[in-house]
Each structure stands twice: as structure tokens, then as C-alpha cells.
Amino acid sequence: DVTLTESGGGLVQPGESLRLSCVASGFTFSMNAMSWLRQAPGKEVEWVAVSVGGSGSTYYADSVKGRFTVSRDNGNNTVYLQLNSLKPEDTAMYYCAKDSGHGFGRVWYNKIDNRGQGTQVTVSS
């Protein structure tokens, strides 16, 4: 069974940073794209970023480009999301997900297979 376990969320002030982690099991991690999603209260799920298996390519949503960085450690089946220059509007539950989508040009078309339980990020002064 696919298992995805996120950690690293918390309460921070605007401008601060966090690093989220997601440990995966139950599939060949290195060959799969891993996405981060988020959902703010009362809003739809938003795709945030992806690290593509094999190539190591990354794609980002415009709302986080330049502030967030996705990376992965295939040896430890872990994907990370570094969140810098956090804003109150980044407040959300963050999820990692196994993603069978594809990239075309500079755009990622996500297709979420599984996602974890999430870790809460709250940005507030």
C-alpha cells in the first residue's frame, strides 16, 4: 500500500521559513513524480509544486515560484518543500502526493494518485 507521511508544519510569522518533509513507501519512489498540494480553509485544493522522478525536473505554481523549493532524497524515499518568505496567504494544510501527471513545456499537468494526511502551516503575526 502507498503510504505518505508529512511533517514539519507549524506556526510562523510572515517572512519566516519552514521545511516540510514527506516520507513515502509502497511504490518505487525514485521513478515517480511527487507533488505538494495545499488547501486553505474554505478553498479548493491548490497544486503547489512537483519533483519529477527520473529527470529530477521541478515545476511550481506561480503563487509560490521564487519562494518555495521542492527537492527529493531518493535514497530515503523523502520529498521536501522549503517554504521561504512565508505570507499569511500561505496558511493551509499541506499535502504530499504521488503524481502520475506529466510536463508539457513549462507546465505541469498533475494527476494525483494518492496523498498523505497533511501538515498544517499557519503564517500569522
DSSP string, 47-110: EEEEE-TTT--EEE-TTTTTTEEEEEEGGGTEEEEEE-S--GGG-EEEEEEEE--EEETTEEE-
Place of cell 510572515: 14
pLDDT at 72: 97
- Residues with pLDDT less than 70, the chain: none
From the CB of residue 67, how many other CB atoms can be counted at a distance below 10 Å? 15
pLDDT at 109: 96
pLDDT at 56: 82
SS3 assignment, position 12: strand
Instruction: Tell me how many degrees the CA angle 78-88-6 measures, rounded to the nearest 5.
Output: 20
